[in-house]
Amino acid sequence: MSTPIAPTDLPTTLGTLRASNYQPKSVREEIRANLEQRLADGLPLTSDVLGYEDTVLPQLETALLAGHDIILLGERGQAKTRMIRSLVALLDEWLPIVEGSEIRDDPFAPISAYALELVDQMGDDTPVDWIHRSRRFAEKLASPDTSMADLIGEVDPIKVAGGLFLDDPKALSYGLVPKSNRGIFAMNELPDLAERIQVGLLNVLEERDVQIRGHLVRLDLDVMVVATANPEDYTNRGRLITPLKDRFGSQIRTHYPFELTTEIAIMHQEAKLPIAPVPVTVPWFIDDIVARVSHVARKSHVISQSSGVSVRLSIANYEIVVANALRRTLRTKDSAVVPRVSDLSAMVQSTQGKIEFDTMDDSDSDQVIAALVSLAVRQCFAENVLLEESPAIVEAFNTEALVHTGDDLPDRDYLAVLAAMPSLDAPARRIAGPTASDGELASAVEFILEGLYLTKRLAKDASGARALYRSRNR
């Protein structure tokens, strides 16, 4: 995304900036003032994050109003980075800086050697540039090889080779923290930072300055620091030094969606579905099952809960189930893409890399994932379907009826089942809805049959995504 072009009527020199009565504010003052206005207008801090309206966001708003540096604690896939990035919208849209400054010097209070010299030489004629708030955010993923030069800075050998002395402040090359001056600096997975580098952040968080190597230069920075961490690394493994913990003003715990409806809303918001030549319709029970798989996984004793089960799992599973339905539709020439229970078998490939197992070999992961899907289907069926016709359906199977299902069968095969088994027709139409298409009816048939099997009223012979439903008496 390109940065917006600054309006042409903004002051271009220090003198005209001073004459415009522009009043500089610190980053915290900007954020506080803009957040106060949003709250007064009844607007949310961010509309990009769902499920935190009554938990995390109020705490984050309070921390920002207090002017705190913040650390967000949570397992993977809890929108921590997205929330941090959303804070950019609380900055003023345009900020004046000394033109050419690497660290966005305030024209009224420069701190770098470059800006101090320029203002001293040119006075009110010092050129002023305006930067958009989208450029006032820097982000770094912590890793063991992150160096002090990356974060704080280093002597630039190229500048020294060009004739500058080693102790000349203009020979310095600034790191990400000084370059975030008058903005927001975000550090993801903070505990992964080596301890000796963590020490380098102590001054930034407390005294608001940095020191580079043996140089006497001190930069009084105006920067808000926001970090993320996994709770296990942050609290149990001792991977974060205590003085650094102490310097964060607020610690906020994030969480996974409490409600299935929230998980489904996130799936719909974030999933990038394939573009299909025919309409795509996802039945309500497929939405429920895909979201529910993540919820049951977060309670499973065989899955590592310290690593977490990311919301990205729900999104990836949703995308793969729809893609599998599209693959079938292209071959069967059906009139719409409608996922079925048999398409859920594709979730094995999208789930494998997103969960970690606590007490078992990864070679058994396929069976565990299949068990999670079955549990989700059973819960969805038991909680949402009141099947008064189940005795009649079971009786139909007792009279030698057999039903084949699979992710390669066209919709018309299921319509033939409904024609041959009237007891199944009414509940399928009730579940699919009054205006259901052929594809939605086919999906409802599979859902009912799988529900009856999982509640031990039918038997099933399965091979991958294909199944044969039959009476339990044979």
The domain spanning residue 138 has which CATH number? 3.40.50.300
How far from the centroid of its chain's Cα atoms is residue 404's Cα? 39
User: Is residue 234 assigned to a domain?
Assistant: yes
The tally of domains found in the chain comes to: 2
Same domain, 422 and 383: yes
Each residue's pLDDT tens digit, 206-227: 776 666 665 656 778 899 999 9
- Please give the helix or strand (H or E) that residue 459 lies within, else none: strand 459-463
Q: How many other C-beta atoms can be found within 10 angstroms of the C-beta atom of residue 8?
A: 6
Q: Tally DSSP H helices, then E strands, for the chain.
A: 21, 14
pLDDT at 216 (0 to 100): 55
Q: Is the pLDDT of residue 90 over 90?
A: yes
Quick one: 237 and 91 in the same domain?
A: yes
Q: Which two tokens stand for residue 15?
A: 């003198």
Domain hosting residue 115, numbered range: 14-253
Residue 1 pLDDT > 80: no
Give Cα separations from 328 to 36, 333, 403, 410, 446 (angstroms).
52, 8, 19, 8, 15
The answer to whether residue 276 sits within a structural domain is yes
Would 1 be classed as within a structural domain? Answer: no
Q: What angle is formed at CA 454 by the lines to CA 439 and CA 310, rounded to 5 degrees?
A: 75
Whole-angstrom Cα distance, residue 139 to residue 460?
52
**Token reading at 245:** 């913990």
- Per-residue pLDDT, averaged over 397-421, amounts to 92
d(CA 224, CA 18): 26
Checking if the pLDDT of 370 tops 80, the result is yes
How far is Cα 277 from Cα 310, in angstroms, rounded to an integer?
A: 31
Q: Decide which of 218, 234, 253 is a domain's last residue.
A: 253
Are 452 and 388 in contact, with CB atoms under 8 Å apart? no
For residues 100 and 191, state if they share a domain: yes
Stated pTM of the model: 0.88
Residue 233 within a domain: yes
| pLDDT tens, residue by residue, 306-327 | 888 999 999 999 999 999 999 9
Last residue of a domain, one of 206, 236, 253: 253
Q: Is 289 in the same domain as 177? A: no
Please state the rounded mean pLDDT for residues 57-84. Answer: 95
* Same domain, yes or no: 248 and 266: no
Residues 110 and 195 in one domain: yes
In the numeric block, the tokens 């009856």 are attached to: 452
Q: Check residues 237 and 31 and name the one with the higher pLDDT.
A: 31
250 C-beta neighbours (distance < 10 Å), count: 17
Please identify, among 231, 253, 275, the residue that sits at the C-terminal boundary of a domain.
253
CB 228 within 8 A of CB 81: yes
Are 270 and 202 in the same domain?
no
Q: How far is it, in rounded angstroms, from Cα 109 to Cα 447?
A: 68
On whether both 58 and 149 belong to a single domain, the answer is yes
- Same-domain check for residues 266 and 215: no
Distance from C-alpha of 401 to C-alpha of 422, rounded to nearest angstrom = 12
- Please check whether residues 110 and 144 belong to one and the same domain: yes
Q: Are residues 225 and 272 in the same domain?
A: no
Across-strand partners of 252? 72
Residue 5 lies in a domain: no
Shared-domain flag, residues 91 and 131: yes
Residue 6 lies in a domain: no
Q: pLDDT, tens digit, for every residue of 167-220? A: 666 767 888 998 999 999 999 999 888 888 888 888 788 776 666 665 656 778
Close Cβ partners of 430 (under 8 Å, ≥ 6 residues apart) = none
Report yes or no on 4 lying in a domain: no
Within a domain: 19:
yes
